Structure 1
Amino acid sequence: MITKGIKGEKPTIGENTFVAENATLTGDVTIGKNCSIWYGAVLRGDVGAIRIGDNSNVQDGAVLHGTLGVSETVLGEYVSIGHNAVVHGARIGNDVLIGMGAVVMDNAVVPDGTVVAAGAVILANSVLEPGIYAGVPAKKVKEGSEKITKMAHDNAAGYLEYKEWHK
């Protein structure tokens, strides 16, 4: 993995967390326990903190960043950030799936038990309700439910196994 301290802040990584050899972690990044940061992911905590809760994953090519003086990035527990997704200064709850290639912009709030579909764009300052969101800009296409929460949770739980194959 590539790590770099920025302005005296260095990434910290929780126990039993897998970070791929070519993932990049810079600055104020804190990763919880049992997480996985996959190949080519970039977590750039130079202008705002990045906090990742336990049992979460940031998949291949995804980017987490923020905007100086505006936003930091916070992920809850059992969160999956899909391949090539961008989370830019947003707050993501627990049991959330951000689909492949999706974009979540500054100060957006994605609550517990929510799925953002592949390719969707959540605009800056959006405050979502639980459910499934799709489109550009994203709109709610399905109300939240225990089934959606379980689907998002189970996706993240699967990565707890996958990361063991790569250690």
Structure 2
Amino acid sequence: MTDCFPDATILPFDGKEPQIHETAFVAPGARIIGDVTIGPEASVWYNCVLRGDIHRIEVGARSNVQDGSVFHVEGPRPDTDGEPTIIGEDCVIGHMAVVHGAQLADRAFVGMGAVAMDGARIATGGMLGAGALLSPGKRIGEGEIWIGRPAKYYRTQDDAQIAKIKFQTERYCKLAQRHLAELRSATS
């Protein structure tokens, strides 16, 4: 598996090996550990860490996890089964975001430097603004924008903003293929 993604660290943990679709892109310097699934045409960019050591992480088809982002999970405790990190399809995760035991529905957006904590949920087309902090257990509704630290409801997205999320996912799918071609060219 690691031959497909040179210079990325892809490691099993506790008997669970990352599952990365053959059409996904994992950039050099990314760290993918344990119970992690990365779907078709998804991309995990430079210096990201996805650590599925005490619960699972899933990244859906065509979603992108941009440079320096960190995904982790909440493991089981006496009072809970823990919280996986689940990213739906066509999601955008901005640079340096932290997603910890949170779940995003399809076409959700997490802005640059934002944090989504344990048990947080972002519904379809929901947006957590750049630098925002979504506290444990908070819910962003369908198409809602939340901003601030702690994040609070700001307004609902219009059609133009929803179209921008689709544009971003399509752009990152194409960009990932260009990076992959350049990397293959540089190593051959």
| Structure 1: stretches of 5+ with no match in the other structure | none
**Given the alignment, which residue of 129, 132, 153 partners 2:166?**
153
Alignment match, 1:132: 145
Q: Distance in 2 between matches of 1:56 and 1:101?
A: 17
Matches of 2:55 and 2:160 in 1, distance apart?
34
Q: What amino acid maps onto 2:13 in structure 1?
A: I
Task: Give distance in 2, aligned partners of 1:101 and 1:156.
Answer: 18
TM-align CA RMSD: 1.0
How far apart, in 1, do the equivalents of 2:164 and 2:37 lie? 26
| Equivalent residues of 1:83, 1:100 under 8 A apart | yes
1:85 match: 97
TM-score in terms of structure 1 length: 0.96
Give the Å deviation of 1:155: 1.4
Q: Percent identity?
A: 38
How many Å apart are 1:96 and its aligned residue? 1.3
CA shift for structure 1 position 165: 1.6
Q: Larger helix proportion, structure 1 or 2?
A: 2
| In structure 2, C-alpha distance between the alignment counterparts of 1:59 and 1:143, rounded to whole Å | 24
For 2:124, the equivalent position in structure 1 comes to 112
Q: 1:13 aligns with which of 20, 23, 26?
A: 20
Aligned twin of 1:52: 59
Distance of 2:130 and 2:22 partners within structure 1: 30
1:64-84 alpha-carbon deviations (Å, 9 max, x no partner): 101111210000000111100
Q: Partner of 1:162 in structure 2?
A: 175
- 1:64-103 to 2 correspondence within 5 Å? 64-69=71-76, 70-103=82-115
Which ranges in structure 2 are unaligned for 5 or more consecutive residues? 1-7, 77-81, 181-188
Specify the alignment match of 2:4 in structure 1. none
1:166 maps to a residue whose letter is H
Following TM superposition, the consecutive aligned residue runs of length 4 or more in structure 1 with deviations greater than 6 angstroms are none
2:11 to 1, 4, 8: 4
Larger Rg: 2
Aligned residues: 167
Deviation at 1:144, TM superposition (A): 4.0
Report the Cα distance in structure 2 between the residues aligned to 1:148 and 1:127, rounded to whole angstroms. Answer: 20
Conserved 8 A contact 2:127-2:140: no
Q: Which AA in structure 1 matches 2:167?
A: D
Greater strand share, structure number: 1
Separation in 2, partners of 1:67, 1:15 = 28
Q: 1:38 aligns with which of 40, 45, 50?
A: 45
Please report how far the alpha carbon of residue 97 of structure 1 lies from its aligned counterpart in structure 2 after TM superposition.
1.4
Alpha-carbon contact 1:108-1:125 (below 8 Å) kept? yes
